[in-house]
Structure 1
Amino acid sequence: ATTDFAYIRFHGSTGLYFSCYSDEELADWAKRLANLARNLKAIYIYFNNDAEAFAVRNAITLRRYLEMGKV
């Protein structure tokens, strides 16, 4: 990495802006983010799969996985 932070954009899993990430996909991302966090000061995450209002649900789920240490 060339910076001390990461910026990750989630646009949808199977359909751009219109799809919901599965719990399995988000659990996998939580593991990746935990590994990234070891070497970074901050990670910024943006969910842009909001056409069907999945962004909030996915953000809450990912946050729950990260807070619970389910990685």
Structure 2
Amino acid sequence: MALANLNDKCERNATLAKDLEFFQEQIEAAGLTVPDSVQELLKESLEKSSNRAELFCEQREQMKKRVH
């Protein structure tokens, strides 16, 4: 996978994870009640995005080390 592609995937997933975390915090701060299914979906999406960001960012760093 090219470095630019890894960088894009790293950044995109990291941004998505941050956005989902912010969204979750805003729901809690507003005291909104959301269905359990929505809470579970947010939790799973946040976890998956965080994991993907970690994976792609780690691969990007490894590729940078090999190139330099």
TM-score by length of 1: 0.35
> Which structure has the highest strand share of the two?
1
Taking structure 2 as the reference length, what is the TM-score of the superposition? 0.36
**Structure with a larger share of its residues in helix:** 2
Greater C-alpha Rg: 2
